[in-house]
Amino acid sequence: MTRKFDFLVIGNGIAGISFALKASRYGTVALLSKSSLDNANTAYAQGGIATVMYSPDTFEKHIADTLDAGDGHCDIDAVEKVIKEAPAQIEELLSWGIDFDRNDDGKFDLHKEGGHSEFRILHHKDNTGFEIQQALIRRLHAEKNIEVFEGYFAIEILTQHHLGEVVTMHTPNIECYGAYVLNQQTNHIHTFLAKVTLLATGGIGSVYTTTTNPDIATGDGIAMVHRARGVIKDMEFVQFHPTALFHPGEKPTFLITEAIRGYGAVLRTQNGKEFMQKYDERGSLAPRDIVARAIDNEMKMRGHDFVYLDVTHKDAEETKMHFPTIYKKCMELGVDITKDYIPVSPTQHYLCGGIEVDLNGRSSIDRLYAAGECSCTGLHGANRLASNSLIEAIVYADAAVKDAVKYIDKYSWNEMIPAWDDAGTKLPEEMVLITQSFREVEQIMSTYVGIVRSNLRLKRAMSRLEILYKETEDLFDRSVVSRELCELRNVISVAYLIIKHALRRKESRGLHFTVDYPKRMHKSE
């Protein structure tokens, strides 16, 4: 069946929903979620959303902190755009009913996280993302112009390739006409035609064995654009959060927000010694790449699986009030954070790279925009400053709507796109092949493409991945499409891009550290 909309939005986190809410003022919108509306990285965010609120903070300070964390690789125009447009976007979030914590004087209660020189993080307790996601969903249901498709998985974006043309990365003006989409309930593949498409498919955590991301984070948008010959950038910059709760076997890994270090918690080795001062004068509040590498180093030197986070010196009632979700989760595991040290270790958390977009959120493919974690705007550079991603997502979703509406009347639906062709395929009889290959990708990436890299490890990862790639493409050609098989293809593409970009970078910068080139080159490429 073919469906036609002015705007097709693939993804239901803060980027996708905020785009949909604004685009619906100008035309019809289809919003796809491969899972349920509440299942998105957005809903997991703890720390909050960074923005300049009160003196003595200034735009200049937030810009300087972002550039510093980004380790010489940020796009200054993107940085200025996000930070200066943030307050207006926060106003909009407030108008949608999102509730951030306030002090008794009515002013917002601001948190501080690693790399921030001022208190500037708006939050709702320690479950800011849940609050945002719920408010966005409530707004979404109130909009008549938006049709929501839950359980609909976007398989491929549609381009001239689907009209039989040969498309390469040198083809001028590749255009996007919508997407092929799998209805997971009926197993039917629909053609969604759109004048403008937004990719807002979120992160890539599922590529690693341990991650803070829910299992929807399989990098689908990035893989789709890669297959469509669009430009993908900066994939080597994978962010590991320094302090995920050490609880082997749990996926996603539970996060211990960096805000708790802003509140006063300190990192200690298993024998109780503080160690961060050895690595950076900002101690436990240094930017994430530095803290994660320091913990990794301490753990490797001592043969330990975790370090401790200590908040026991703070007032117990205050700790419980600020961090109720963390308190409850740790108590369930027998750790009373007001009395006991919390065992933590670094885990995959965020991807700074992704689909390259300009200041209007446009990708290298015409009529295709990207926003949120799947995109690469240049804001984060080589390492994201904490709590800068939710704000980036909403600023760029806004920019994308503003740009798209200028052109929407010029575009028409491309009715020449054929229906999905699954002739010659049959059901994959062996699901175990898919799950086992998935596990192998996670293992390859966690073993060889983690916090510390080397040429040898990266090359070994690439040769192992090539085998999985060939087997999976073969399976894809023979099988009826399933979400699991598509996600496997996508994580393989994402893993390939991370390794390829990591091999290309002959230096250590931000989140990319390699023992073969331990120094930063003078200029970033």
- Report what 160 binds from ligand SIN, ligand FAD, none; CB cut-off 5-8 Å by kind: none
Stretch that binds ligand FAD, among 93-101, 102-110, 306-314, 385-393 (CB under 6 A): 385-393
Q: Check 120, 139, 288, 362 and give the catalytic one.
A: 288
- Of 24, 127, 213, 364, the one binding ligand FAD (CB under 6 A) is 213
For residue 170, the minimal CB distance to ligand FAD (Å) is 27
SS3 for 108? strand
Q: What residues numbered 90-129 form the site for ligand FAD, per CB under 6 A?
A: 128-129
202 binds ligand SIN (CB under 6 A): no
Q: What residues numbered 452-511 form the site for ligand FAD, per CB under 6 A?
A: none
9 binds ligand FAD (CB under 6 A): no
262 binds ligand FAD (CB under 6 A): no
- Of 220, 236, 289, 442, the one binding ligand FAD (CB under 6 A) is 220
Q: Residue with the closest Cβ to ligand SIN?
A: 47
- Of 79, 158, 259, 486, the one binding ligand SIN (CB under 6 A) is 259
Tokens (6 digits) for 181: 């989409």
- From its phi and psi, is residue 152 left (phi > 0), alpha (psi between -120 and 50) or beta? beta
| C-alpha Rg value of the chain to the nearest Å | 22
Known catalytic membership, residue 384: no
On whether the CB atoms of residues 211 and 348 are closer than 8 A, the answer is: yes
Angle between helices 220-227 and 483-504 (to 10 degrees): 70
C-alpha span between 220 and 484 (Å, rounded): 12
C-alpha span between 221 and 34 (Å, rounded): 12
C-alpha span between 152 and 169 (Å, rounded): 28
On whether the CB atoms of residues 363 and 369 are closer than 8 A, the answer is: yes
- From its phi and psi, is residue 512 left (phi > 0), alpha (psi between -120 and 50) or beta? beta
Task: Give the burial string for 432-448 (b: 16+ CB within 10 Å, else e).
Answer: ebbeebbebbbebbbeb
- Of 11, 13, 47, 203, the one binding ligand SIN (CB under 6 A) is 47
Site string for ligand SIN, 373-392 (x = CB under 6 A): -------------xx-x---
Stretch that binds ligand FAD, among 57-65, 357-365, 372-380, 436-444 (CB under 6 A): 372-380
Q: Looking at the annotation, which residues are catalytic?
A: 288
In the complex, the residues that contact ligand FAD under the rule CB under 6 A are 10-16, 32-35, 39-42, 44-49, 128-129, 153-154, 200-203, 212-213, 216, 220, 255, 350, 372-374, 387-390, 393
